[in-house]
Structure 1
């Protein structure tokens, strides 16, 4: 590799956990760093690099290994085995990448790493670099997990109501599922709690949120760690429009069916469509998939439903054909374009943090049917804290029934729909934009970060 002439203020390696929902916000944050004069190298695993489609724009892509180059997470014997192998092999190959970039005349100043990968901080510190952790979940959820890690929230829970410093009162069922249902998915529980294993050594803590959205909890956490809010991390075209032709995240693991989706939406009246998607990772139980399908059909609204190819066999027989006059079912879609479309009236979502922030930033009311991890807490915030949607509650079997979905969609979409929800959605849309506008709270944090890296 030929040596590069250093023309940038600083050089950051950005290391996301290898999944679409973690790559998107960290890639978008990387674009903001580049806009402020930094050079960014996005480090992805060898396996993930083979499936990425699209263009990373000004971001350089390099690879490291998670120890499972042929199959990634699916190749591992268990979640615990994957994370341990990733720690060992990832530490070694990340270190090698940093040394390679140094010898090429493009030395790294900082490692910005996904909070799921705390070992990256140890690599950074060993090599004398600045370490910055990036939390892809809300500050509210991070605060709960922090209290679990510190032993200040004892598990299993013994009371139906929980009081966490810095937060509003919570029912046990409003907590992240790995906390509320203690003992479920222990590998994921350990990964999430271990985000805080070495946080006292970190130089910067970034959270993909914005100050006014979670003001109280941000202030509380800023007292215990160097927390900065840098969100919402959406492409610039949907917020401040400062990054030129930045209309999408750039790298996709699934190919969106763009033309069909947008043509179909163009043919529908303003505010008439329910967009239903459970994200890039979730796998619905067959019974739940059937209830969602029937709930959409019974709502009598137009609907655009995303069901990944691997999940489509769970749809009711002949569902696509029988609902063709009202609905469109696709394997994947350009979510931001869909949410920004004039025809959208409601987003039926699992309540993952990226989807929640996208809908909030684009002023789209939500019906949230949470599945696990942070989603119940996000649903609580959507309904009771921010007032931008309704939570569709599950029955004793953990299934959200069609009648519940029909009722929630009707309340949000109907002609006598909840005006307060729509007004709140517009309010938060404006506040999200203000956060990343020049001089906004998130914009100032990114300016400060690049300026201090440059000075050092």
Structure 2
């Protein structure tokens, strides 16, 4: 071929969105596609690293110096971003010569304006769904008007889905989160304009709903799990991290893990955005102190002041770090359990590495993910909150002990899902073949 196909990958400026899209970009790159990753100017300035083989470009969200904080709130941030983003993305496409030099735009589905901009330049577009298909289906049914807000019933039956209850629904249906709900639902206002619809999941994990949705969206494909190869199929031994991060890892935690017996450590991390109150942090802290297991707890710098004043950050039994390589930790044989907020990336990672989980959902899609983990895939248990929406230490301790001191079923299920995830991305697997088909279509689009 005379020239390589060129994809612009437009990612929403949050680590949980950029990481899987960047991993997908690496898979395309290995099949000969040239990649340019596009993010906002503010987010670009805060990145720690970017893979050298992938070009980087920026657009404006209207707040180049401070991002969402400069906007003073999510709603004004989005309003300005949705005005400025399409204009500056159009300028970027002009700079790259439109369809002469860009063959495809792979865009985060949150950018409902992206397919219209791409079409204006005669460029095909692929929507990339960063959440799982159960959550996408819930939001899609709101878009269709088949789920009414506010929710008035206590249980919900959607096509190809397990029965859902109020506690299983995304947090955006409740309280003051309606702005977020409008935002996540709006991604489906233009989904029909996409030439491909790609989702970071694998067929076996979402089989029933994938079969249902392809009848609605014939262009739908599962292309996940999009995590570094070293932890999945080991096809590329040097692919050991996503290649971009907001936070710097404290690598000494791996040395600490090396000293611990197999399956003896509880790993606790709530991702890059969850921010629990002091009461919840205190309950977690005392649970970990009282548990018989070792623990490794990630507490971001912004959350450290919520720790109890006499809680030691490093002991023989436990270690508190600001950040670490989650994949390396989950892959370590010393880890026997993962206490997680159940963000989709963390959920996929723990499924791919065969580690059973305790789900402590915080917001967004995490309630639904926790439902799937505990009741559908059966790789973990969900910690129940009290009337103040706090998981108490005794509850959390019971969940941890259930995994660490027994329950072979969860551990066996976790190992089986790992095998299916690996199978999906190896030659002949569903995701492997879908990515291959996507790349072949690029050459002929």
Band of TM-score, shorter chain? over 0.9
1:187-266 mapped onto 2 (5 Å cutoff): 187-225=179-217, 226-258=219-251, 260-266=252-258
Q: Please, which of 409, 414, 418 is the counterpart of residue 425 of structure 1?
A: 414
For 1:281, the equivalent position in structure 2 comes to 273
For 2:297, the equivalent position in structure 1 comes to 305
Q: Please, which of 387, 391, 394 is the counterpart of residue 378 of structure 2?
A: 387
Matched, 1:163 2:157: yes
Q: CA deviation at 1:295?
A: 1.5
Q: CA deviation at 1:6?
A: 6.2
Matched, 1:178 2:169: no
Give the Cα separation in 2 of the matches to 1:143 and 1:87: 24
CA contact (8 A) 1:394 1:401 kept: yes
Q: Please, which of 426, 435, 439 is the counterpart of residue 428 of structure 2?
A: 439
Between stretches 203-212 and 154-163, larger displacement belongs to: 154-163
CA contact (8 A) 2:105 2:125 kept: yes
Matched, 1:74 2:63: no
Give the Cα separation in 2 of the matches to 1:55 and 1:39: 15
TM-score w.r.t. length of structure 2: 0.97
CA contact (8 A) 1:274 1:345 kept: yes
Give the Cα separation in 1 of the matches to 2:53 and 2:235: 15
CA contact (8 A) 1:54 1:252 kept: yes
Identify unmatched segments of 5+ residues in structure 2: none
> What SS is found at the alignment partner of 1:28?
helix
CA contact (8 A) 2:43 2:67 kept: yes
Q: Deviations along 1:183-221, whole A, 9 cap, x unmatched?
A: 522221111010101111111111110000010011111
> What SS is found at the alignment partner of 2:97?
helix
Matched, 1:129 2:123: yes
Q: CA deviation at 1:106?
A: 7.0
> What SS is found at the alignment partner of 1:320?
coil
Between stretches 234-243 and 13-22, larger displacement belongs to: 234-243
RMSD between aligned residues? 1.4
Give the Cα separation in 2 of the matches to 1:218 and 1:57: 35
CA contact (8 A) 1:35 1:243 kept: no
Identify unmatched segments of 5+ residues in structure 1: none
CA contact (8 A) 1:290 1:314 kept: yes
* Change in CA separation of 1:438 and 1:307 when aligned onto 2, cut-off 3 Å: same
Q: CA deviation at 1:325?
A: 2.3
For 1:452, the equivalent position in structure 2 comes to 441
Give the Cα separation in 1 of the matches to 2:184 and 2:371: 20
